[in-house]
């Protein structure tokens, strides 16, 4: 079966870039990305490519090439479902904030709504592709809704988790380490798997396309994120030991990473991992383990999140302690608000928790981030509900110019590893600060010797000096 029309429900950080790359690489396939968020769809259709709703290096060029050729963004969900032979579900699956599993389980209401909408509209056979990250066995729930739709269409459910990382989404999509496709082992299931394999095979080498049963595929996604986050928490745990012992966490990371069994990636100590998925997916895994009575497994993985919370807390505690145990009324500049460089995404960013802790100590916090809008910053703080929105706006200001942001500051904290931070005129920044001038480098990106030569009291995560 050759796929000619694809619909993707959800035009977010995954749906948008993924479909843009499929459309660019497969000019014979018509790709329609739909979303209920009208503003988001309007932004995807904006003639000015600077206004795309998602910032990803290289994405604008791909959208420019494919948009209105075979890539379309629309709010007409029903029409797109009707016309497509293959439907990707790429909606958000946040941690539940209510009821059973609150704070742990994935909230599947958006997934179920999609399944019900497909069931209502589809009159012909369809292949449904789970692109969102889902708890293992979700495919059976989707299948049950679709098989009871009352119409004669038949459905195959595939799991095709996405492994792109933000900031490098386009490169990850163009050159994936692997594409994972899970499906039913019946002849119809195998046909559906092959149809999706044929889409990816247009640009991904065949030996990188891996097929498994549905449950292995669903669980592999949660496992991959748990392993990646575990490495960050492990190196962050070592960073605290380094600070006590005189070892340097970067040297330790290099030394262990040269062992090919360990490998060098994901060993960068930081103020803590953020992003929409690591914490959410591990908590989901913990919930699944608990629901099967596997308490030891649950406790093991939960520790990765607890360690991450500790890392964020100890970073802000260290700032307060170093500034003579009080930051009340002091200006502290945060460089970076995004959860990593090269993205405007701030979900679960360590900066949010660090800022909140400092605001609770009555610091005057000033934020500069090259890509994050001020309203996003205030919204992130409001979501925590620690204090009234007016108080957040009173205590925290957002600056568009980094030098202005740092002027008269008592301390600077580097919270995102944006490249531009390493190119600043740090002498000029030092000259304009209160003295002693402190820098707390939560990403370890600045040159310690240069900073100390200028006169800063410089703290780097995972290093004693």
Contacts with ligand NAD by CB under 6 A lie at 9-15, 34-37, 40, 77, 90-93, 110, 113-114, 132-133, 162, 164, 166, 276-277
CB 4 within 8 A of CB 23: no
Whether the link from the prior residue into 222 is cis, omega within 30° of 0, is no
Phi, psi values for residue 245, rounded to 5°:
-110, -10
Size of the residue set binding ligand UGA (CB under 6 A): 21
Class of residue 197 by CB neighbours under 10 A (exposed 0-12, middle 13-18, buried 19+):
middle
| Nearest residue to 369 via CA among 360, 384, 359, 380 | 380
Query: Is 266 a binder of ligand UGA (CB under 6 A)?
Result: yes
Nearer CB in complex with ligand UGA: 256/454: 256
Q: And the tokens for 4?
A: 């000619």
Nearer CB in complex with ligand UGA: 228/319: 228
**Residue among 35, 56, 107, 162 that touches ligand UGA (CB under 6 A):** 162
Q: What is the DSSP letter of 49?
A: G
* Stretch touching ligand UGA by CB under 6 A, among 50-58, 262-270, 285-293, 445-453: 262-270
Residues 100-159 that bind ligand UGA (CB under 6 A): 133
| Nearest residue to 447 via CA among 417, 413, 422 | 422
Nearer CB in complex with ligand NAD: 53/183: 53
Question: Distance between CA 77 and CA 158 in Å, rounded?
Answer: 20
Residues near 339 by Cβ (< 8 Å), separated by ≥ 6? 166, 273, 274, 275, 345, 346, 347, 348, 349, 350, 351, 416
Q: Least distance from C-beta 95 to ligand NAD, angstroms?
A: 10
Query: Is 310 a binder of ligand UGA (CB under 6 A)?
Result: no
Q: Does the annotation count 277 as an active-site position?
A: yes
Q: And the tokens for 65?
A: 């090439």
Nearer CB in complex with ligand UGA: 110/163: 163
Question: Distance between CA 138 and CA 388 in Å, rounded?
Answer: 39
Residues 2-21 that bind ligand UGA (CB under 6 A): none
CB 419 within 8 A of CB 57: no
Could you say which of ligand NAD, ligand UGA, none residue 266 binds, taking C-beta under 5 to 8 angstroms by partner kind? ligand UGA
One character per residue 271-300, x = contact with ligand UGA (rule: CB under 6 A): --xxxxxx----------------------
Could you say which of ligand UGA, ligand NAD, none residue 340 binds, taking C-beta under 5 to 8 angstroms by partner kind? ligand UGA
């Amino acid at each position: 079966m050759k796929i000619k029309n694809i619909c993707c429900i959800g035009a977010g950080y995954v749906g948008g870039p993924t479909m843009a790359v499929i459309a660019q690489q497969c000019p014979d396939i018509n790709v329609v990305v739909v979303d209920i968020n009208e503003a988001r769809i309007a932004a995807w259709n904006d003639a000015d490519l600077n206004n795309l709703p998602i910032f990803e290096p290289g994405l604008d060029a791909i959208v420019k090439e494919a948009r209105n050729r075979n890539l379309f963004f629309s709010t007409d969900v029903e029409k797109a479902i009707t016309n497509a032979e293959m439907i990707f579900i790429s909606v958000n699956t946040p941690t539940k904030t209510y009821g059973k599993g609150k704070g742990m389980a994935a909230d599947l209401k958006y997934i179920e709504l999609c399944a019900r909408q497909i069931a209502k509209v589809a009159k012909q056979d369809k292949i449904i592709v789970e692109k969102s990250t889902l708890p293992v066995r979700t495919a059976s729930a989707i299948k049950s809704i679709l098989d009871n739709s009352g119409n004669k269409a038949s459905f195959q459910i595939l799991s095709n988790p996405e492994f792109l990382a933000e900031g490098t989404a386009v490169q990850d999509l163009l050159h994936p380490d692997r594409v994972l496709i899970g499906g039913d082992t019946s002849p119809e299931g195998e046909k559906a798997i092959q149809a999706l394999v044929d889409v990816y095979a247009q640009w991904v080498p065949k030996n990188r396309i891996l097929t498994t049963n549905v449950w292995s595929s669903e669980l592999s996604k949660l496992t991959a994120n748990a392993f990646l986050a575990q490495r960050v928490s492990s190196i962050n745990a070592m960073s605290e030991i380094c600070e006590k012992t005189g070892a340097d966490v970067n040297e330790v990371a290099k030394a262990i990473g040269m062992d090919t069994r360990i490998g060098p990636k994901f060993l960068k100590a930081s103020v803590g991992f953020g992003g929409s998925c690591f914490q959410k997916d591990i908590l989901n895994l913990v919930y699944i383990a608990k629901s099967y009575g596997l308490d030891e497994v649950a406790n093991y993985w939960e520790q990765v999140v607890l360690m991450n919370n500790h890392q964020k807390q100890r970073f802000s505690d260290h700032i307060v302690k170093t500034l003579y145990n009080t930051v009340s009324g002091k200006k502290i500049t945060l460089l970076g608000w995004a959860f990593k460089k090269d993205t405007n995404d701030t979900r679960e960013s360590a900066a949010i928790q660090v800022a909140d802790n400092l605001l609770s100590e009555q610091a005057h916090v000033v934020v500069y981030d090259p890509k994050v809008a001020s309203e996003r910053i205030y919204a992130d703080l409001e979501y925590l509900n620690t204090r009234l929105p007016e108080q957040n706006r009173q205590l925290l200001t957002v600056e568009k110019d980094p030098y202005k942001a740092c002027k008269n500051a008592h301390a600077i904290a580097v919270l995102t590893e944006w490249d531009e931070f390493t190119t600043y005129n740090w002498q000029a920044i030092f000259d304009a600060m209160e003295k002693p001038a402190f820098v707390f480098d939560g990403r370890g990106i600045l040159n310690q010797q240069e900073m100390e030569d200028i006169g800063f009291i410089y703290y780097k995560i995972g290093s004693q000096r």
